[in-house]
Structure 1
Amino acid sequence: MTPNPVPRRRTTRLARVITAVLGLLGLVAATVPTAPPATAHPLPWSGSWVAAVQEPSVPPWGTPNWSVEGFTDQSVRQVVRTSTGGVAPRIRLANTYGDTPLRLTGASVGKAGDGAAVHPGTLRPVTFRGSLSATVPAGAELTSDPVPLPVAPLERLSITLYFATPTGPATFHERATATSYRARGDHRFDRSAAAFTETSESWYFLSGVEVVAPGGRDAVATFGDSITDGVGSTVDADNRYPDELAERLVAARRPLAVLNAGISGNRVLNDSTCFGEDALSRFHRDVLDEPRVRTVIVLEGINDILFSEFGTEPCMLPNPEVSARELIEGHRALIRDAKARGVKVVGATLLPVQGEFVDSPRVEAVRDEFNTWLRTSGEYDAVVDLDRVMADPTDPDRMNPAYDSGDGIHPNDAGMRAMAEAIDLDTL
């Protein structure tokens, strides 16, 4: 199939504008499209959006995904929302769980319209070390050159990746709570959504969007499981609690990025083939190694307590009974690692789960003991008591029905908003 033409004239003109802006800021701007390697840019990059990546899998719940089959002669268009803006973005691709090099034929970035559509005049080619194509080594990540496209806070970007040759199984993020789109052939520069007839609710190979934004440590990471990931909120509405927190910060004119490092089903102490590496293993990669992180909010542990109730479901294994003491020791390790990097660490109590289908007296006892430690120990720099915020006023072990998505454990849009509103912005 003949590739769509690259809009070179418009890109070149805007590249000069971006270069001039960066020069006025006293920064060294990269040329487009012949930029040097990303590691050579002395520019103040800050994370604006992230996805914590997982190995290819098909979990027992959720929606079907394309991770195991991968892509061949296909374009994948993914829509993400930035938390902060900047004069130029760059994207990060992950082949973390790939056994072979990932060959990307080309990519584009534009400002998202409805569905898979892109606003006219905003599509830009993405280059990697000056080349329109790129190879991401097995087990590695690759960051693009700056893209000449100013980005506003809370702006939705449409990122399209085209793979002419087979990718093999795809490193991905399973529960995006957002729609991704697939088309046969090269449709990087299609403004229309017409070719993108297949959909998925996962993100593929895309692990981050960074922006050029002068400042110091200005990113807040939210680290956790499906509740942080946004399960239970409306698909494509950007109502996850980290999204709501980002909106509060923008409204308060506090230019802090919010990076969502949640993975559905994730646990502190045990990993699985379906729900990501355990929190202790992935904390450095997904939080501490992100640029300019100043604070992390940790909400994780309920799956450690619940999964032993599931029996021998393969995705849950290993699933030993976890005590409050074991879970506390896991959190202490996260606290130590964060403080060693100079990152402030905020602990969130575990939400009510009574009524969830595998709840039990043991689950409640462990959750209560852990929450008491988190509230009273003083080991976290600050605490947000989401357990009490989200509880039913008539039964503190149950989620408030007004906040319940329907399964007794995941908040709905109103619940996600209540969680974000419970966070004292001064602690960030």
Structure 2
Amino acid sequence: MRYTQKKTSLLWLLALALGCTAGVAQAEDRWIGTWAASPVSVKNEIALGSAPMTIRQTVHISQGGETLRLSLTNEFGTEPLTISAASVGFFASGDTIVDGSAHPVTFSGSPSITIAPGQFVTSDNIKINLPIFSDLSISLAVPAQTITTLTEHPLANQSAYLVPGDQGTVVDLPEPKEIRNWIFLKNLLVPATNKRSAAIVTFGDSITDGARMSLNSNHRWPDLLATRLTTNKKTKYLSILNEGISGNRILHDTAGPKALDRFDRDVLSAPGVKYLVILESINDIGRTYFARPGTQPGEEAVTAQQIIDGLKTLVDRAHAKQIKVYGATLTPYEGAAYFSAEGEKDRQTVNAWIRTSKVFDGVIDFDKIVRDSATPSKFVKKADSGDHLHPGDVGYQMMADGIDLRMFQ
């Protein structure tokens, strides 16, 4: 009996060890997005491709690791896109990278890649020790070629730099031209390090995109939420993928494809997505009563019920993929250029539905967090960026601080 007990104990310990090893291996076999941006179609007005050029762009990751993969995109391009060389280094300041930090990027073993129109590619593994919240500078050498349409994320509120020639490994770029968009960048991935490793996708418009935050500050509410997640042992392995597009709408194509059309690409296909926060439709409301330039009054009008139906469709599609969805109430906008009393009624109707419908797995009441208690249709003064539509740095911090982290445990 004693022998049997000892044998059973040894077998149990062996099984436990194998189980732990399998769990680690399973985590390492999964890749999680640590940074992302939603691309749109933009006319090539910077003459990229007119001669050999290098573009250096900086991103702020939300999880670290010892290996990295880079995804480049030509999803809105109309011609094949060739990148002759790419490298990833640590940001130092401005257009400068930390000396000696440039790591070459390869695609199926080759330093160059041609991406077909409508497609994206992901690199080979890049061996690089990445502390959490690293700022990475990605340099792309773009040879002379025809590029009619750029696949880019406009209004990044982050400086990027263009210089002639292939200078991706140069520490300090000579006389660069500054732009503020992310071009050809789709996402960055790191291996999962824990069974809790997963991504939170934040999906929305300019308020999620970080419009009117301080330049290069990474003070978007999703960035600030990422910092808070590390303070909780049950959420510290979660990353943030910001899929906000300034000007985006649920029901009309304007700034990028409408939310209903880009949902598969930007949410359901996001690497490692487990949670989703939706904050969108203020542009649908605003443009219902104040037509955007080039359109007729009423041409793009929608009702509060149509917005609600659109939001419910997004939730249903996410739930079908076992993604938990949190609805965020629309923030105040009285004083904004497209404010109207009718639009305010629609905002209140949509917010009431978000709070009470029980369609979502939970609610983040951004409206309550940043509104003026005396005039709830307005931002509280300290949260307002000054345009009465977007928060400023303080407002974005208030939004991030107001999120209950237990939602993501």
Instruction: Tell whether the structures are fold-level matches, with TM greater than 0.5.
Output: yes
Match of 1:264 in 2: 246
**Structure-2 separation of matches of 1:297 and 1:279:** 13
TM-score by length of 2: 0.89
Q: Choose from 33, 48, 60 the match for 1:81.
A: 60
Q: CA deviation at 1:346?
A: 0.1
Amino acid at match of 2:41: E
Q: CA deviation at 1:197?
A: 1.6
Q: CA deviation at 1:150?
A: 1.3
Q: CA deviation at 1:213?
A: 2.5
Amino acid at match of 1:153: I
Q: Choose from 353, 371, 381 the match for 1:401.
A: 381
**Structure-2 separation of matches of 1:196 and 1:210:** 31
Does structure 1 retain, via aligned residues, the 8 Å contact 2:291–2:300? no
Match of 1:297 in 2: 277
Match of 1:228 in 2: 208
TM-score by length of 1: 0.86
**Structure-2 separation of matches of 1:55 and 1:70:** 14
Alignment pair present for 1:313 and 2:299: no
Provide the secondary structure at the position in 2 that maps to 1:112: strand
Amino acid at match of 1:129: S
Alignment pair present for 1:255 and 2:237: yes
Q: CA deviation at 1:44?
A: 2.1
Provide the secondary structure at the position in 2 that maps to 1:365: helix
Provide the secondary structure at the position in 1 that maps to 2:377: strand
**Structure-2 separation of matches of 1:316 and 1:349:** 29
Alignment pair present for 1:90 and 2:69: yes
Alignment pair present for 1:110 and 2:96: no
For each residue in 1:131-186, what CA deviation from the matched residue of structure 2 results, as whole angstroms up to 9, or x when unmatched?
Answer: 00001111000001111111111100000000112250210001111011110111
Q: CA deviation at 1:291?
A: 1.5
Runs of 5+ unmatched residues, structure 2: 1-20
Q: 1:233 to 1:185 in 2, by over 3 A?
A: same
Provide the secondary structure at the position in 1 that maps to 2:394: helix
**Structure-2 separation of matches of 1:218 and 1:412:** 29
Match of 1:383 in 2: 363
Alignment pair present for 1:246 and 2:232: no
Amino acid at match of 1:296: L
Match of 1:129 in 2: 108
Q: 1:201 to 1:120 in 2, by over 3 A?
A: same
> Percent identity over the alignment?
36
**Structure-2 separation of matches of 1:315 and 1:144:** 42
**Structure-1 separation of matches of 2:153 and 2:182:** 5
**Structure-1 separation of matches of 2:182 and 2:295:** 20
Stretch of structure 1 that moved more, 310-319 or 218-227: 310-319
Amino acid at match of 1:69: A
Alignment pair present for 1:44 and 2:30: yes
Does structure 2 retain, via aligned residues, the 8 Å contact 1:78–1:160? yes
Q: 1:206 to 1:317 in 2, by over 3 A?
A: farther
Match of 2:14 in 1: none
Provide the secondary structure at the position in 2 that maps to 1:423: coil
Alignment pair present for 1:154 and 2:140: no
Match of 1:361 in 2: 341
Amino acid at match of 1:419: M
**Structure-2 separation of matches of 1:53 and 1:277:** 10
Stretch of structure 1 that moved more, 405-414 or 243-252: 243-252
Q: 1:288 to 1:312 in 2, by over 3 A?
A: closer
Q: How does 1:122-201 map to 2 (within 5 A)?
A: 122-168=101-147, 169-193=149-173, 195-201=174-180
Q: CA deviation at 1:27?
A: 5.8
Q: CA deviation at 1:196?
A: 4.9
How big is the alpha-carbon RMSD for the aligned residues of Structure 1 and Structure 2? Answer: 2.1
Stretch of structure 1 that moved more, 135-144 or 165-174: 165-174
Aligned length: 382
Q: Choose from 187, 194, 199 the match for 1:215.
A: 194
**Structure-1 separation of matches of 2:155 and 2:230:** 25
Does structure 2 retain, via aligned residues, the 8 Å contact 1:239–1:416? yes
Match of 1:334 in 2: 314
Amino acid at match of 1:53: P
Q: How does 1:338-353 map to 2 (within 5 A)?
A: 338-353=318-333
**Structure-1 separation of matches of 2:208 and 2:251:** 17
**Structure-1 separation of matches of 2:139 and 2:70:** 11
Higher strand fraction (1 or 2) = 2
**Structure-2 separation of matches of 1:276 and 1:221:** 18
Q: Choose from 390, 401, 404 the match for 1:421.
A: 401
Q: CA deviation at 1:316?
A: 9.8
Q: 1:375 to 1:329 in 2, by over 3 A?
A: same
For each residue in 1:193-250, what CA deviation from the matched residue of structure 2 results, as whole angstroms up to 9, or x when unmatched?
Answer: 3x25201111000111111233345110000000000001111000000000011112
**Structure-2 separation of matches of 1:27 and 1:130:** 25
Does structure 2 retain, via aligned residues, the 8 Å contact 1:122–1:149? no
Does structure 1 retain, via aligned residues, the 8 Å contact 2:290–2:297? no
**Structure-1 separation of matches of 2:211 and 2:342:** 25
Does structure 2 retain, via aligned residues, the 8 Å contact 1:67–1:171? no
Amino acid at match of 1:270: H
Q: 1:416 to 1:89 in 2, by over 3 A?
A: same
Match of 1:54 in 2: 40
**Structure-2 separation of matches of 1:24 and 1:80:** 33
Q: CA deviation at 1:251?
A: 3.0
Q: CA deviation at 1:67?
A: 5.5
Match of 2:47 in 1: 69
Q: CA deviation at 1:416?
A: 0.4
Does structure 2 retain, via aligned residues, the 8 Å contact 1:270–1:318? no
